[in-house]
Structure 1
Amino acid sequence: MTKAGTIRVGIGGWTYEPWRGGTFYPEGLPHKRELEHAAAAMTAIEVNGTYYSSFKPATFANWAKAVPDGFVFTLKASRYVTNRKLLAGAGESIARFVDQGIVELGDRLGPILWQFMATKKFDADDFGAFLKLLPASHAGVGLRHAVQVRHDSFRDPAFVDMARAAGVAIVNAWSDDYPGIGDVSGDFVYARFENAMSAEEQGFPAATHDRFADWARDWASGAQAGDLPLVGTPIDRKPRDVFAFMINGAKERAPAAAMALIDRVGRP
């Protein structure tokens, strides 16, 4: 039997005031040790700060040193790439993003998330040109890419086909705020569970966590999963790594939600 892909589960960032004082971080934990604590509890973190600004190579290197073997950071790509009218002209901004020192993360570098505004509509020619700009590697380090689109016009088989041809993952985003696309495209799955509830101690009811765990295991084994509608043709069945994040929604519940899912799917 072919081995299933690796499932990693995490949160968005690690600096958030409501997580301090015993909610997630122990009382009195120095802020400089918060990444270390979060990385011990999670198996991945999605870095949001890289969407707003660039960082020095030494910063990425220090992040890599602070986390255990097997831990992975995914990076949200620069808004200067995704928040533009014509994506085909983003080549220079893409180059700046990947050349800022992200390769210093080494084997801790996971997929790059290219997130688009909910107002961004699907233009087949322009989006196809953008996908061709995404580099397969940089400085000898392989790069993986995921795109999160949030406009209904992307419910187009042509979009799914071009993402698959490029080897780029379509983000499976479970949200109340915009329509999602459930098709699997790249050789990994990127899921964002964005509608956690403050009233639930672990963000979601236990039955929902059970369902998320089933999805993650199905994706890892190569099956199509999830409740989001499909747009394209069925996928080829092959094991895929899975990156699942509890993010946005009731953010104060995100660590508990992620740990609840890790309890169900295990650690790499």
Structure 2
Amino acid sequence: MTNFCSKMFGKFASYPFPQPLQKWINQGYVKIFGIDLGEFKPAQDYPTLNHLFTRELQKERFVDMQEDVWVSPTDSLVMARGKVEHNLAIQIKGMSYGVSEFLGEVVEDGYCYLNLYLSPKDYHRYHAPCDMEVVEVRYFGGELLPVNQKSLFKNHNLFIRNERVVVVAKDQRGRKFFYVAVGALNVGQMLLHFEPRLQTNARANECITYAYQEPVKIKKGREMGMFKMGSTVVLIASGVNFELEEGRSVKFGERIGSFV
């Protein structure tokens, strides 16, 4: 049912209403969610609600380019962080899930994870946290449950149940890490600029893998894709110390950790 609702909302958000009505819709959304458009175009300049959701930065962000530093890929809230132990990670305090099922492969204990929640008011594009080489993309069809705090406490194994896109990559030191975009209610689509074959919110149980003979190289801070509504990005990496505390808000480009 949540997938159907998300598709219907996606159609509404993609429809260009007459300009006066569209202006009213956009401004109402900005007001309801308290969106700061200081770095973006005015609300009335977006021809659809989806264009407002996926708005592009108009002012260049500072990105910490120190070689050993990882930066936030998103404007978001830190919901959880920690280390994988016995194949378990935390979606939110007291609620664990199986990492191997989430990623589609087994990882060793000691990998660190960081959960970044994008609310409806946030900038919805996601970027590279470090210099990276993408070797594979895995799409897992699933539900589209909300990923806000209330839903994370309510729904066991939410990250496994929800639709997700797992980007398998290597950092500049050659260590494997995982960059996971998790779908959510009203996320009509998740896009990756370098993988046009990806079609999300399609079939609930579909699993597709895209492998690359030549890795896709992406520089730190470069835009990788976007959510068409709020959602979550999960980073799971080895040899990285994620420094942010739970409950902390962070902006794309700010330091979140460093190599160890």
- Kindly indicate which of the two structures has a greater share of residues assigned to strand: 2
Q: What TM-score does the superposition give when structure 1 sets the normalisation length?
A: 0.27
- Kindly indicate which of the two structures has a greater share of residues assigned to helix: 1
Q: Which has the higher contact order (CA 8 A, sep 6+)?
A: 2
Q: What TM-score does the superposition give when structure 2 sets the normalisation length?
A: 0.27
